[in-house]
Chains A and B, each alone.
Chain A
């Protein structure tokens, strides 16, 4: 195990967050908090049917109600849209993408699909009028089951003639047939099916939108609870056919996203369209029930995975077949989610070029799915980590030992994997060893042997997950090879003001991650100033016009690195000015502690503050140099970054009730150098509990008619403090060699690692009872039923 020292100074310190005072006192303004006089309130009429033909929409009664300004059906607004709702990821040439408009015109395709809308002077009036809109539906048979959807027994969208959106393959073989040969020659093979249930992201802040027009000037300002103001601006301009330069998008304080706010939604487009049409501000705030139905869902995959291994348990081949549940329509990056996982199915293990992956994605009459914390990577990690436990069981060795035999050795990094992707750095054995020490692995196995005896009703289980997170999305050329519709760069501007205060402009768009704190720390470290003297500007396209926003654990590894690079440019320019003023050779100047000094002549020095002021007055700059101290960078990363780690979960399962209690959870994460360990731990804690929630609590449940049965937080089980364990964190530090900060990213690591660790623990607890798999969520009823089935229904 290597424990590299953190850099000294500000970077790496547990600096308290500058975001907090405003958030702790109620001073922060979320979108729904913004007060705009005269704003009309939008409310949506949503389909109560999973699939129904819209026969007629009668708005007559609603439109005459007090305070109601207008009522629109989908047909009324059909001409408003310059294009359909955007999907930016056409993963294959022949991908099927049915027309998706903000208001459905002829057919509703999931419960919650918007079919009409009301604008009124108050939210109450709008809500009351929704009840008075009479929509006549002809209910049609809904398609809920993925394999049923695949059969095309009932085709949801007539216009595309099939429920199949695309099939995307990734076959990597040294020679043709290598994968089949590996299975034919395997000493051990396992074949497993896992179900990734649908999840509801449930960010605590419901979505909210406010569009403020300037009817005569022509400008439009769109406030939205979004993770992606920049992407939203481009897409809104395209969808509405309005000039992009007249559109300003602002994401005020945003209360969490987890992917659910990485999208372009009907309500955003409607607020802008109706604000434009009526010449007044239009706002909408989601209710939680709407959020459960009409904000994207996550996961939703059937995974078939097969591992082949040699006599020593070393992986020799891997085959994966996925069915992806797209839901009723393709949202912004819906089809790309399974692809993001495709490269991680061998996890942190060495695999020869014997890999066969295929994903077929289908439409169903359920809420569209899209990126949810981890997006494809938790699914892949779950499959390989569960399958590794099955393989260990098959071979009869400890799961940790099997993993050790397969880890990519530390000395092989940077490591070119079977896919051709290069893993930047890693120390898997180090992370696993630390996690095992922290949790007391050997003692736990002893305890398990003595406790899980025949007849025991409280059984201990120990679950491991050793993971890679492919993040730092992304090198633009790689995205291009995957048909993604945008690049993966990030923009930064660093501006030293005349008084030596610093403005940083970032294209990232934080919603809880603490970028203002972290970015100010990077600048402080680079420029030798106090973080308090740095202001971080973001999430307003008029202030930060360039950016690709915050998702995919990309912000630090791309946006943060862009800031560090920009600081270097500022220092370079300041060096030229300082050298000019000090009458020294720029190469002889040293920059430390915010001051330039001439090497060997410490009395000849000039603080950055003085340089900044000189750059401002421009009275005496080198010939040809532009005034002011400002630099800009658009950074396109050369590679993904590859955080990794080992999580170990210890559970006790009550076999009488099926209840799982998590006794201990240890997370060892290596995200390279840490800018702020306080924030890193916070990201891990939250991610782990979100992943644990998938394992034990959460599922968006639909009945066979396509009704969402978990449409409130009383039914959709986001766990509370009393339902989850503390998270014990540990870290190894293996810097990334691909960027100057040595950072990797940490936003999704916990979610990726936790789900398989928890389920592996539950299965491990029950393995003595003949249980080999437990579906998610491992609710008490489910676990009890599984035990019964394994015991031949004897209980």
Chain B
């Protein structure tokens, strides 16, 4: 069926199979490959994006469910002039990434977390990122990144 999803401010219309996952639509139909796939059980959070401003796992949403909705992906985070989003900048300054595969999902989850809780404690950051797995960093610097971003 034909769907239209606004991604990073731009409307994308495509004919998709109902079984197409939102993450497949974003990666394959729209060609935005920054959103990664790390599992098939909604466990790892690598595919986290914002749907209508809130973090969701795009591997657990059908593209047809997102029809008419607003999506932000990692590609939509930095400013047009190339300035990194404050969360991206914080990850860079605090070495919050190594291989980078979980990173887009982490950044999307972390920004959603701060939208809901602008001044979290370290424990709240850890709990708030419970849906995102990372194998490289041990989370230490990811948590520091989010705390640094919250402090501004």
Contacts and interface: CB of A to CB of B under 8 A. Distances in A.
Interaction A to B? yes
Contacts of B27: 33
Interface in B90-121: 91-93, 95, 97-104, 107
A479 interface: no
A370 interface: no
Interface residues of A, number: 57
B43 to A, nearest CB: 4
Given A512-B100, A713-B41, A718-B135, A685 B140 contact: yes
B139 A124 contact: no
Interface in B117-150: 122, 125-127, 129-143
Given A25-B88, A288-B38, A20 B140 contact: no
B: contact size bracket: 35 or more
Given A23-B103, A512-B99, A720-B139, 16 more contacts: A20-B100, A24-B103, A26-B75, A33-B33, A205-B101, A256-B135, A287-B40, A512-B98, A682-B137, A685-B139, A685-B140, A712-B41, A712-B43, A720-B132, A721-B143, A726-B140
B134 A688 contact: no
A5 B138 CA distance: 28
B78 interface: yes
Nearest to B137: A686
B145 to A, nearest CB: 10
A24 B99 contact: no
Contacts of A27: 34
A679 B37 contact: no
Interface of A: 16-17, 19-30, 32-33, 35, 124, 202-206, 253-256, 258, 287-289, 511-514, 678-679, 681-682, 685-690, 712-714, 718, 720-724, 726-727, 750
Contact of A256 (B43, B98, B129): B98
A30 B36 contact: yes
Contacts of B140: 685, 689, 726-727
Interface in B36-51: 36-44, 46
B130 A124 contact: no
Contacts of B46: 204
The B contact surface, by secondary structure, is loop
A21 B107 CA distance: 13
A203 B99 CA distance: 9
B5 interface: no
Nearest to B90: A24
6 contacts: A24-B74, A24-B84, A27-B34, A253-B100, A256-B98, A712-B41
Nearest to A288: B39
Contacts of A686: 98, 135-138
B137 A720 contact: no
Contact of B34 (A19, A26, A682): A26
Nearest to B132: A720
Contacts of B104: 24, 26
B152 interface: no
B52 interface: no
B7 interface: no
A202 B135 contact: yes
A721 B142 contact: yes
A720 B129 CA distance: 8
Contact of A24 (B88, B122, B134): B88
Given A204-B133, A687-B138, A24 B38 contact: no
A687 B140 CA distance: 11
B31 interface: yes
B90 to A, nearest CB: 10
Nearest to B92: A20
Nearest to B124: A722
Contacts of B102: 204, 255
Nearest to B35: A26
Contacts of A25: 34, 74-75, 77-78, 84, 88
B103 A712 contact: no
A29 B33 contact: yes
A59 B136 CA distance: 41
A180 B36 CA distance: 56
B75 A19 contact: no
A97 B27 CA distance: 42
A21 B130 CA distance: 25
B12 to A, nearest CB: 16
User: Which residue among A514, A713, A718 has the maximum number of chain B CB atoms within 10 Å of its CB?
Assistant: A713
